[in-house]
């Protein structure tokens, strides 16, 4: 019989579980119900007691807590996950594919004699030869090929892509936590702080409903024969501030920075959407000044409603890649949109 462990971790506060962790809890509850299997949830946090309040009362809750788990650190996180596994002894382990767990879980699976699959987007239970088998789905080749996998080897670790399940919403009652006592490994790594590339402001917002994509057209010569990059920057940032949208970019636009050309200062390669960029999940997407070529659009795989503004009536978007295309100059369109959004503000 299968038994399930969901591994979760706290955010920077040390006492609240991350959204991807709560999404893994939803997946664990659904899988446990379908298999009629026992469910344990493991917490790695400074203050697991507070973090556990977000969890369901129907699961057994184990925790590794204290200061050593305040920071993501390979040695302490790997030891904590292995300790939680030993205490629960499950056949299936679900965990969020956060940078914290993606870094440690492959080796934890190896240490425990298990196997791991990553980038899981859904879980199903199918009857195969009279027994319930767990089937997991993931995408390969930049989201072009979807595969369904099953394994008989146990323990089987599964890293779940964020955004593929609803976050578990607590009803207020959670089970008491069982603290796992063990000595954290000695570590030579001390985290002294964070350094991130200068971006002026955070523009990548995975939880946003809308993805706003800027293409290279924003930096090209416009009908008056001039470029208008500072104006483009103001329009884009104005739109992002008013809507809370996440900012994506075409490769051509972010590549310009590397060539020393005039470029929008808040864009880095982390904003790039596409075959060699990211494949984010948002309910809607608005592409501006972008041609809509296949290597870019493949990154829109998980954007449900796609719209584009381009001057080119023959661009890739108009050839069936967007739901709605506005053949128009994005400068006045976004300026008008920003004015309407501003007017709507209370």
Ligand X SMILES: Cc1cc2nc3c(=O)[nH]c(=O)nc-3n(C[C@H](O)[C@H](O)[C@H](O)COP(=O)(O)OP(=O)(O)OC[C@H]3O[C@@H](n4cnc5c(N)ncnc54)[C@H](O)[C@@H]3O)c2cc1C
SS (H, E, C) 284-305: EEEEECCCCCHHHHHHHCCEEE
Task: Considering the complex, state which of residue 282 and residue 291 has its C-beta at the smaller distance from ligand X.
Answer: 291
Q: Please name every residue paired with 128 in a beta bridge, in sequence order, or none if there are none.
A: 131
- Strand ranges of the sheet holding 177-179, from the earlier edge strand across to the other edge: 145-149, 131-140, 115-128, 156-160, 92-96, 4-9, 39-45, 60-65, 177-179
Task: Considering the complex, state which of residue 183 and residue 224 has its C-beta at the smaller distance from ligand X.
Answer: 224
Q: Which stretch binds ligand X (CB under 6 A): 15-23, 100-108, 189-197, 310-318?
A: 310-318
Report the nearest approach of ligand X to the CB of residue 284 (Å): 18
Among 90, 277, 280, 285, binds ligand X (CB under 6 A): 277
Among 20, 163, 217, 285, binds ligand X (CB under 6 A): 217
Task: Considering the complex, state which of residue 115 and residue 270 has its C-beta at the smaller distance from ligand X.
Answer: 270
Query: What is the Cα–Cα distance from 97 to 119, expressed in whole angstroms?
Result: 7
Q: Which stretch binds ligand X (CB under 6 A): 107-115, 157-165, 181-189, 288-296?
A: 288-296
312 near ligand X, judged by CB under 6 A = yes
Report the nearest approach of ligand X to the CB of residue 277 (Å): 4
290 near ligand X, judged by CB under 6 A = yes
Among 158, 309, 322, 337, binds ligand X (CB under 6 A): 309
Report the nearest approach of ligand X to the CB of residue 216 (Å): 3
Among 3, 26, 164, 250, binds ligand X (CB under 6 A): 250
289 near ligand X, judged by CB under 6 A = yes
Complete DSSP assignment for 221-269: --TTSS--HHHHHHHHHHHHHHH-PEEEE-HHHHHHHHTT----TT--G
Could you tell me if residue 116 is left (phi over 0), alpha (psi between -120 and 50 degrees) or otherwise beta? beta
334 near ligand X, judged by CB under 6 A = no
251 near ligand X, judged by CB under 6 A = yes
Among 14, 42, 215, 280, binds ligand X (CB under 6 A): 215
Query: What is the Cα–Cα distance from 129 to 109, expressed in whole angstroms?
Result: 28
φ, ψ for residue 34, nearest 5 deg: -70, -30
10 Å CB burial of residue 136 (0-12, 13-18, 19+) is buried
Size of the site for ligand X (CB under 6 A): 30
* 9 touches 101 (CB < 8 A): yes
- Name the site residues for ligand X (rule: CB under 6 A): 215-217, 220, 222, 250-253, 272-277, 289-291, 293, 295-296, 299, 309-312, 315, 329-331
């Amino acid at each position: 019989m299968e038994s399930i462990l969901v591994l979760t971790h706290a955010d920077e506060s040390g006492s609240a579980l991350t959204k991807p962790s709560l999404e893994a809890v939803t997946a664990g509850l659904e899988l446990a119900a379908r298999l009629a299997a026992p469910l344990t949830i493991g917490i790695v946090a400074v203050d697991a007691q507070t973090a556990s309040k977000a969890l369901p009362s129907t699961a057994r809750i184990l925790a590794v807590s204290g200061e050593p788990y305040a920071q993501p650190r390979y040695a302490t996180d790997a030891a904590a996950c292995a300790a939680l596994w030993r205490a629960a002894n499950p056949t299936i382990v679900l965990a969020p594919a956060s940078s914290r767990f993606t870094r440690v879980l492959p080796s934890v699976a190896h240490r425990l004699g298990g196997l791991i699959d990553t980038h899981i987007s859904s879980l199903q239970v199918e009857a195969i030869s009279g027994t319930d088998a767990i089937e997991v789905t993931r995408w390969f080749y930049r989201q072009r090929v979807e595969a369904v996998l099953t394994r008989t080897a146990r323990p089987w670790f599964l890293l779940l892509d964020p955004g593929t399940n609803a976050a578990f919403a607590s009803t207020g009652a959670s089970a008491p936590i069982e603290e796992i006592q063990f000595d954290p490994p000695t570590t030579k790594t001390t985290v002294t702080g964070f350094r991130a590339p200068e971006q002026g402001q955070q523009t990548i917002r995975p939880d946003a409903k809308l993805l706003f994509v800027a293409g290279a057209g924003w930096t090209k010569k416009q009908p008056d024969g001039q470029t208008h990059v500072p104006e483009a920057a103001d329009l884009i940032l104005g739109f992002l501030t008013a809507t809370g949208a996440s900012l994506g970019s075409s490769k051509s636009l972010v590549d310009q920075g590397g060539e020393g050309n005039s470029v929008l200062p808040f864009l880095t390669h982390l904003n790039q959407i596409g075959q060699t960029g990211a494949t984010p999940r948002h309910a809607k997407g608005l592409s501006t000044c972008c041609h809509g070529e296949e290597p870019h659009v493949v990154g829109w795989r998980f954007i449900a409603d796609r719209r584009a503004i381009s001057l080119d009536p023959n661009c890739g978007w108009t050839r069936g890649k967007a739901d709605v295309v506005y053949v128009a100059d994005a400068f006045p369109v976004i300026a008008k949109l920003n004015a309407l959004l501003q007017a709507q503000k209370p």
